[in-house]
Amino acid sequence: MRAFAAIDHESRRQNAQLTFKHNLHQGRHGWLRLTPAYSLRLVTEILRRTKYAASVLDPFSGTGTTPLCAGYLGLRGTGLEINPFLVWLGSAKSRHFLPATIKRASDLGASIAVASSSPQSPRLSPPPIHNISRWWNETELDFLCRLKACICDAAEEGAEERDLLLVAFCRTVITLSNAAFNHQSMSFKDKDDSPQLFDLQRDHSDIFRKGLAFVLDGAADNPRTTPGIVTGDARNASRFLRDKYDTLITSPPYPNRISYIRELRPYMYWLGYLTNGRDAGEFDWQAIGGTWGIATSRLVNWEPSGKAFVPDKLKKAIAGISRPENPHGVLLANYVAKYFEDIWDHIVDVRAVLNDDAEVHYIVGNSTFYRTLLPVEEIYKEMLEHAGFHDVQIIRIRKRSSKAELFEYDVTGKKNQPTKQSTVRETRRRLSRR
Ligand SMILES: C[S@@+](CC[C@H](N)C(=O)[O-])C[C@H]1O[C@@H](n2cnc3c(N)ncnc32)[C@H](O)[C@@H]1O
């Protein structure tokens, strides 16, 4: 029986309940959106099936969906994430909040909502986001600068209520913005889509108040165990993690040129994680699959280390992408080659933090470059097998877009070949840990 037996027959459909859309109204999972986040339903279904798992790792934790799901099921959840803003968000979402903290955040929020709508209240300078007027008009920007100043003034750095207020602030930043989410990555609304008169009449403080009420509702629903979110690089996971895990569930970046820094830049600039465009490119270069700013120019000169396993299917796809008739073929071929070299480093290293009969689930999507299909799921399968994983299988989960050939898959396998003794031993060990 497979995790998705019940939904596999629907895999030709776009199953929105298996994406971040399903998370939007689910308490803490819906605090802030990240388009490439996956759905808690997907994770919960896998976790319910792996019934002896006591500890769960997501080495590409993003908004913290996996560790938080594990926490709500009473399992030990850990996320590893390279982006400092997502580490902050994942940690805030994972925290155990006492009623007194929620009450303090609520009281402070009520005063802040009043103070920030007064033109007399102090205001911070707007963040140095390129072309900021595309994001917010002058009135909105002015309100956000006052709101941020009021929050910083009211709650000390490090105080738990400050994080709750800042999550509500981030919700307000996006609600007031001109950002549109109807594409695969974040874009801007068309001029005709922004009802100007309505915008002028929007009660900005009320948007903050409602955002905070939603955040506090989620904060009151504590997970049964508190997950941990660790800052680190999944290519060297064993350097950052001390424990061992029974189950790995993750959706790594897909090789589809989505830049997380690009998606997250409004939050990252407002909260001070980014102060200039060059750093944005540096962050993206550190992340797997990053393409923003300087990351692209470095890709042009990137050369393979020669140490990674390169399956024939990957070699064939790289040759197809780099054909001379493809205008940016060499750049994109380098992009794909580097992506898989990074994933190979991750797969080899992560074995060190998995228990002997651990199960892994990589949720991945395939891509096309020019007319070359990149069979991402098959390349992951070959890499996992080559690194020593057993019983590796590909399960198709859902169709991804209107393009007939794009799907999302669960590539799943076991760290080792299970033996009778190891199964009995592991079952005892896990039961004794509960
Ligand atoms: C598809 S997203 C994960 C989304 C997550 N499943 C969720 O529900 O929010 C991939 C994540 O991998 C992170 N990432 C990229 N390179 C990384 C690396 N080398 N080590 C750790 N995390 C990395 C990105 O910052 C991004 O948050």
**Does 81 sit in the ligand 1 pocket, CB within 6 Å?**
yes
pLDDT, tens digit, 9 for 90 and up, residues 339-381:
999 999 999 999 999 999 999 999 999 999 999 999 999 999 9
**Does 30 sit in the ligand 1 pocket, CB within 6 Å?**
no
Whether residue 232 has pLDDT greater than 90: yes
**Does 343 sit in the ligand 1 pocket, CB within 6 Å?**
no
Residue nearest to atom 3 of ligand 1 (CA): 62
Residue type at position 155: A
Q: How many Å apart are CA 151 and CA 124, to the nearest integer?
A: 11
Contact 365, 254 (CB under 8 A): yes
Residue nearest to atom 8 of ligand 1 (CA): 37
Whether residue 28 has pLDDT greater than 70: yes
Average pLDDT over residues 291-306: 87
Q: Which atom of ligand 1 is nearest to the CA of 86?
A: 27
Among 16-20, 272-276, 328-332, where is mean pLDDT lowest? 16-20
**Does 296 sit in the ligand 1 pocket, CB within 6 Å?**
no
Q: Which atom of ligand 1 is nearest to the CA of 287?
A: 16
145, 136, 97: which is closest to 117 by C-alpha? 145
Test site for ligand 1: of 24, 80, 82, most ligand atoms within 8 A of the Cβ = 82
pLDDT, tens digit, 9 for 90 and up, residues 57-96:
999 999 999 999 999 999 999 999 999 999 999 999 999 9
Q: How far is CA 60 from CA 97, 312, 382, 415, 417, in A?
A: 25, 26, 20, 18, 25
Q: How far is CA 304 from CA 162, 301, 340, 366, in A?
A: 45, 10, 10, 22
Q: Is the backbone of residue 257 left (phi > 0), alpha (psi -120 to 50) or beta?
A: left
pLDDT, tens digit, 9 for 90 and up, residues 197-230:
445 557 999 999 999 999 999 999 999 999 999 9
Residue nearest to atom 7 of ligand 1 (CA): 37
Whether residue 164 has pLDDT greater than 60: yes
Contact 38, 65 (CB under 8 A): yes
Q: How many Å apart are CA 117 and CA 400, to the nearest integer?
A: 42
**Does 65 sit in the ligand 1 pocket, CB within 6 Å?**
yes
3-state SS of the chain is: CCCCHHHHCCCCCCCHHHEHHHHCCCHHHHCCCCCCCECHHHHHHHHHHCCCCCEEEECCCCCCHHHHHHHHCCCEEEEEECCHHHHHHHHHHHCCCCHHHHHHHHHHHHHHHHHHCCCCCCCCCCCCCCCHHHCCCHHHHHHHHHHHHHHHHHCCCCCHHHHHHHHHHHHHHHHHCCEECCCCCCEECCHHHCCHHHHHHCCHHHHHHHHHHHHHHHHHCCCCCCCEEEECCHHHHHHHCCCCEEEEEECCCCCCCCCHHHHHHHHHHHCCCCCCHHHHHHHHHHCCCCCCCHHHHHHHCCCCCCCCCCCHHHHHHHHHHCCCCCCCHHHHHHHHHHHHHHHHHHHHHHHHHEEEEEEEEEEEECEEECCEEECHHHHHHHHHHHCCCEEEEEEEEEECCCCCCCEEEEEEEECCCCCHHHHHHHHHHHHHHC
364 vs 191, more confident: 364
8 — pLDDT class (breaks 50, 70, 90): very low
Query: What proportion of the chain, given as a percentage, has pLDDT over 70?
Result: 85
**The pLDDT value given to residue 214:** 96
Contact 355, 415 (CB under 8 A): yes
Query: Residue 360 pairs with which residues in a beta bridge?
Result: 248, 413
Residue nearest to atom 1 of ligand 1 (CA): 253
Q: How many Å apart are CA 363 and CA 384, to the nearest integer?
A: 13
Test site for ligand 1: of 32, 88, 184, 288, most ligand atoms within 8 A of the Cβ = 288
**The pLDDT value given to residue 3:** 39
Cα dihedral value 144, 146, 149, 151, nearest 10? -70
DSSP secondary-structure letter at 306? S
- For residue 14, count other CB atoms closer than 10 A to its CB: 16
User: Measured in whole angstroms, how far is the alpha carbon of residue 201 from the centre of its chain?
Assistant: 34
SS3 397: strand
Contact 90, 115 (CB under 8 A): no
**The pLDDT value given to residue 186:** 65
Q: How many Å apart are CA 234 and CA 127, to the nearest integer?
A: 30
Residue type at position 126: P
Following DSSP, what letter does each residue of 159-199 receive, concatenated? -HHHHHHHHHHHHHHHHHS-EE-SSSS-EE--GGGS-HHHH
Rounded distance from Cα 306 to ligand 1 centre (Å): 25
79, 81, 75, 67: which is closest to 28 by C-alpha? 67
Test site for ligand 1: of 44, 57, 60, most ligand atoms within 8 A of the Cβ = 60
Rounded distance from Cα 133 to ligand 1 centre (Å): 29
